[in-house]
Amino acid sequence: MNKQKGLGMTSSGQSSCISDYIQLKGDLSTCIDDMLTISNIRRFPCEELRDKLRTDTFNLVVVGQFKRGKTSLINALLGNPILPVSVVPLTSIVTIITYGEALRVMVHFNDNRAAEISPESIHEYVTEKGNPKNAKDVNEVIITYPSSYLRDGVRLIDTPGVGSIYQHNTDIAYRYLPKSDAALFLLSVDQPISKSEIDFLHDVKEYSKKILFLLNKADYLCEKELEESIEFSKNVLRETMGTEVKLFPVSARLALEGSVSKSDEVFRKSLLPVFKDELNKFLVEEKGNLLILSAANNILRMLSQAKLELELEIKSLSAPLEELKEKLRAFEDKKKETELEKQDFDILLKGETIRLAKALDDDLHGFKTDLLLHEETRLEEMFNQNRSLSLKKLRSMLEEQVIICIKNSFNTWRAEADERIAKSFENACKRFIIKIDETVDAILRFSSELFAVPFDAVKIEAVWSVKTGFYYKFRDEPVGIEILASTITLALPKFLGDKLVLKKMKEYLHKAVSMQCGRIGYDFERRLDKSRLDFRWEMLRRIDATIEGISASLEKGMTMRAKSEQEVSARKYELDQIIKKLNQIKAGIIRIKTITDGVTHPSKDKSV
């Protein structure tokens, strides 16, 4: 395989755009490093923010109808034919390509197993031919690749095409829509945009904040025919989206050919460079800069709080002692008031978690009822169609059907439910974060007004995510019911034995489904409660850290007052120097924000 790194052929515009973004991220990290040298700056939020800058990921999901060339496009973007392509509907498993120092392929199974395979073996796991109807029970395949395009946290996600005869492929594609930060929606010139594609686009709109449209196989048509195809597709997309859209004609085939052969001319003919520039612009200006602005605001908030604590210590060194003691008593009353607010938060958060668990339990019960009704009918149909088989073969076939049914049904429902519950919990957490931040700001403002020192409140976006993890076991963990021993069943007459097999299979189905529902319900409940406790701890820590920071500053000042005048003056000078350093860092952050805001909103008058 060609080891070329990067997004096919590169352009100077792309290099400048991305290098500026990387530079701003580096400047932010330097500011955080400078903050960590200051004693009253808490390490955890700074280190957490620095990790977010370094590890932030962005899911770019490639979607579209089958045989539009999604996999070929990804290969073209990477400049390397890593993923298998074919003339028939091929991709059946989601494949995620992320940055790594070497090309490596990991297969993740639905039972939480993982195995590394050779790149040449990918087709055995992600294609319909190599893994029909996902018989190998693969969840997803993750590929690491040393592409500069992926280095900054972008993850390319190749989904199965929708609309083919393989319904399970369409189901998998829909399952990954909620994971999309942006979507590349692929059309092609050889087939006019269809109603099924329009229906799918309506669903993509629900999940993706940004959709970039491409018209693949542009090399199939002459210039005039291509213009007609573009105009037709744009009109349909405009009507569907309710606004003007950009549609980029490309030839994934020529782009990959140009990359592999290192032919600038062939690569330009593919028209991919035009789309690539637009994609880079989006990733840097709309995604990257939002990350920088969010991080900058978080830093400004930390600086503002640290400066307030230093100002309070200075105030406590010079304020009249009786006046200071009176204000400390008022601050103690505020702390007691805050303790009641913490208790209210705890009660409301627990209530919200119970509500979510109840909604999930109701969904699971409905799923169980529908599944049993559907699968009992399928079992009876299969039984009637295969009654001529021997009892042993009939029983084995029905048992396998039950196991496959449970695996596939529960895997699909679990993934969808996971997205729903995670989103619901995150939304609930955002509401609570707003309330917690208001409580923290109230403490800081109260202290600022009480001791007559300045404080600038900085609003930040409320963000919280839930980590996922499930387990599924079948063969290696008994489902809790045994089929009637073969010696007894096989000894019965055929017309009695096969009816007994069907009866036992239905019992097996009911008990296996009930057991899996119990496992899933318990696992969701356990994870939801763990997420609640993690979130509770983090939120209460924000409040406690604020109170402790203010209390520590005041206590330091009170302690220092007992020392000599020379020591007090030296401490005041030291505090003044720290405040100057904070102001220098703040100026650097504001400069970064100004540059970033100018790129994100270029229409603003930069001369102001």
pLDDT (average), residues 430-446: 90
Q: What is the pLDDT of residue 402?
A: 85
Q: Going edge to edge, which strands form the sheet with 138-145?
A: 114-117, 104-109, 138-145, 95-99, 154-158, 58-64, 182-188, 211-216, 247-249
Does 570 have pLDDT greater than 60?
Answer: yes
Residue with tokens 């019992």: 507
**Position 395 in a domain:** yes
Structural contact between residues 241 and 262, judged by C-beta atoms closer than 8 angstroms: no
Higher pLDDT: 50 or 369? It is 369
pLDDT category at 5 given cuts 50, 70, 90 is very low
**Position 306 in a domain:** yes
On whether both 449 and 493 belong to a single domain, the answer is yes
On whether both 144 and 67 belong to a single domain, the answer is yes
On whether both 216 and 331 belong to a single domain, the answer is no
Quick one: tokens of 63?
Answer: 């979607």
Q: What is the pLDDT of residue 460?
A: 67
On whether both 229 and 101 belong to a single domain, the answer is yes
Q: Say how many domains are in the chain.
A: 3
Of 165, 137, 234, nearest to 193 by C-alpha is 234
Alpha helices in 319-390 (DSSP H): 321-385
Give the SS3 label for residue 168. helix
**Position 293 in a domain:** no
On whether both 36 and 151 belong to a single domain, the answer is no
Interior angle at CA 116, CA 112 and CA 122, nearest 5: 105
On whether both 364 and 326 belong to a single domain, the answer is yes
Q: What is the pLDDT of residue 284?
A: 73
**Position 249 in a domain:** yes
**Position 478 in a domain:** yes
Q: What is the pLDDT of residues 31-84, one digit of tens each?
A: 999 999 988 888 878 888 888 787 777 788 888 877 788 888 888 888 888 887
On whether both 151 and 208 belong to a single domain, the answer is yes
On whether both 416 and 467 belong to a single domain, the answer is yes
**Position 282 in a domain:** no
On whether both 70 and 18 belong to a single domain, the answer is no
On whether both 129 and 264 belong to a single domain, the answer is yes
Query: Is the whole model's pTM more than 0.85, yes or no?
Result: no
What is the span of the domain harbouring residue 114? 56-270
On whether both 579 and 496 belong to a single domain, the answer is no
**Position 492 in a domain:** yes
